[in-house]
Amino acid sequence: MFDQLENSIDFINEVEDELFQLNDKKLRDIQDPDIGRQTPDFIKSRGFKEESHYVTTEDGYILGVHRIVNHKIDDSQRHKRPVILHHGLMGSSVDFVENSPGGCIDEKVVTGIVGNNLGFELAKRGYDVWMPNTRGNWYSANHTLLNPQSDKAFWDFSLDEYVKYDCPAVIHYIQEVTNSSKVVWVGHSQGTTMMFGLLSSQPEYSKIVEPFIALAPVAHVGYIDTPSQILARQKWIIKILSLRGGKFLPDQLLRYLARKICRYQYASDLCANVFFFIGGGWDSPQLNYTRIPVYGGSESIETSVKNMVHWAQSVAKKTFKHFDYGYEENIKRYGSPDPPDYPLEQIDARHVALFSSLNDGLADPRDVQILRNRLRGKGPLLDDYIVPYKKWSHLDFIIGLDAGRYINARVIEILKNYQT
């Protein structure tokens, strides 16, 4: 089915032509130079120098990491501790540079005014910004032995592999390049889950990652409030997906749809509802409709079926555990009929900042409270911030119209205490 969808572009072109002929005035073409740009293009378009780095994990995956270099400031203005910005599920490094126009290197930094693109706002202020990509997305679709197009084994990974291999590989690579003993990790959604998993399973990283800022923090997802919750609880769907394996969605087709259809005014409501469906927050006033073609056309939504099954297991069982392979395989892998829990109580919370909201269907306040309670076992949180905007949703943390005001400004304020 997914292969057939990939071949539907000609049909989409025909539909688009017919719709366009209906009424030229109603189908106003959104002109935005950011449409279709990838992460390196965004960085260069704002005047920064872009570096593409490639990190090989212990199990052979080659991860693309984008670095924003501000070459117009002197060494006295630079902060030595590198800042890692990590995207969420079905996201990529572009999440931190695509929110809005602007963020150019020559823009004057004004006290109290922070723009919406976190990557550029940090770089303008002298931070060394690194933006990794999880295995499987279009910036990390390489392996030392496996071909993602022909080898199904390439897609045999889930959150466990992100935690065990991707996070440590990226951190150690950046430490080596920058000669820094500590790094900052700012994650969004699954980008927070990965770090919660790493810090709980390998507590020694708490001495390296200072601080860890969790935007829309996700560990427990038992109270997830989106249509995907219904699907996650259907055992027959999970079983079919488990048997199918491989890649999850036809990403090329979806990106094409975003660029070709969402660029027209008539499709704005439809495209917005797709974003609300995926993003876990309904009718958020923070969505910039005119940027939807940018978001959809630049995003990388690749992940594995196995990873989605892992998330479905977490929703169905209301737990934060390793992947459940079934009774016999669990015995072989874990020495137990049940997969082990990620022991969040082991995390040193003194350098952990939670940024949550009340209208987040994917990081539901009740799930965040469970997380909060488990983290408090080893000391107070660095910050426990609830966005003072009632309709702030999951994607607003990275593409909200007021992300600069509600999110980025507070991130920058926290980092003032972690500059060396």
More confident call, 282 vs 314: 314
Whether the CB-CB separation of 379 and 411 falls below 8 Å is answered with no
Is residue 229's pLDDT more than 80? no
Catalytic residue among 92, 189, 201, 356: 189
Helix, strand or coil, per DSSP, at residue 304: strand
Give φ, ψ of 269 to 5 degrees. Answer: -65, -45
Name the residue type at position 87.
H
Measuring CA to CA, how many Å separate 265 from each of 13, 25, 90, 278?
Answer: 17, 10, 25, 20
Would you say how long the chain is, in residues? Answer: 420
Give start and end residues of each alpha helix (H) in 162-224.
167-178, 190-201
Please report the pLDDT score of residue 78 as a whole number: 87
The angle formed by the CA atoms of residues 96, 39 and 164, to the nearest 5 degrees, is 70
> Before 203, cis peptide (omega within 30)?
no
Please report the pLDDT score of residue 235 as a whole number: 55
Tell me whether residue 66 is one of the annotated catalytic residues: no
Candidates 194, 189, 187; CA nearest to 211 is: 187
Please report the pLDDT score of residue 300 as a whole number: 66
Tell me whether residue 189 is one of the annotated catalytic residues: yes
Q: Fold for domain 2-228+249-304+345-415?
A: Rossmann fold (3.40.50)
Name the residue type at position 350.
R
Q: For residue 23, what pLDDT band results from cuts at 50, 70 and 90?
A: very low
Q: What is the per-residue pLDDT across 28-78, written as a single tens digit (0 to 9) for each?
A: 455 789 988 999 999 999 999 999 999 999 999 999 999 999 999 988 888
Domain ranges of the chain: 2-228+249-304+345-415
Mean model confidence pLDDT for the chain? 85
Is residue 270's pLDDT more than 80? no
Share of the chain above pLDDT 90, in %: 65
Across 105-129, average pLDDT: 95
Largest CA distance in the chain: 65
Q: Collect all residues with Cβ–Cβ distance below 8 Å to 33 and sequence separation of at least 6.
A: 45
Model pTM?
0.87
Q: What is the DSSP letter of 339?
A: P
Q: Is 375 left (phi over 0), alpha (psi -120 to 50) or beta?
A: alpha
Give φ, ψ of 67 to 5 degrees. Answer: -115, 135
